[in-house]
Amino acid sequence: MKSKWNIVYYETAKKECRVEDFINSRSIKNRAKILNWLEQLEAQGPNLPRPYADLLEDGIHELRIKLSGEQIRIIYFFCYRDFIILTHAFRKNTDKVPNTEIEKAKIYRDDFIARSNENELRSKQYENI
């Protein structure tokens, strides 16, 4: 059984980090709740059950968080055996996750894989310990 997953926030080539920007835009209380859920995701990975996490399609997943009555989704994918890459987050206003958000995650995933490699990620993880 896997002990812990490594969470990475996706950054665009221009060093924009949409997940971090989203989290930082929330109140202190809501940021704490989001970070708590990210710790749960980091500990459980693909074993985090529904209703907390769900597979959307084609390897794209959602972390499902309710904050002050709002439905928040953090979109992510798994990569290199033990990495979880958070692509972006948004406030969900519809019954289903919009296809535009899923397609955006696929574009970010392709970009991430094209610009990174496993050894690079692992060395960055060890630098942060």
Q: How far apart are CA 23 and CA 35, in angstroms?
A: 9
* CA nearest neighbour of 106 among 51, 40, 47, 61: 61
What does the pLDDT look like over 28-40, one tens digit per residue?
A: 999 999 999 999 9
What does the pLDDT look like over 80-108, one tens digit per residue?
A: 989 999 999 999 999 999 999 999 999 99
Residue 127 pLDDT = 60
Q: In which band, very low, low, confident or very high, does the pLDDT at 11 lie, cut at 50, 70 and 90? A: very high
Strand order in the sheet with 70-79: 6-9, 83-92, 70-79, 60-67, 53-57
Mean pLDDT of the residues in the chain: 93
In the block, which residue shows the tokens 């989290």? 23
The structural domains of the chain, with segments of one domain joined by +, span: 6-127
Residue 124 pLDDT = 77
Q: How far apart are CA 74 and CA 87, in angstroms?
A: 8
Three-class secondary structure of residue 79 per DSSP = strand
- Asked whether the predicted pLDDT for residue 1 surpasses 90, the reply is no
Q: How far apart are CA 124 and CA 121, in angstroms?
A: 5
- CATH 3.30.930.10 is right for the domain spanning 6-127: no
> CB burial class (10 A; 0-12, 13-18, 19+) of residue 78?
middle
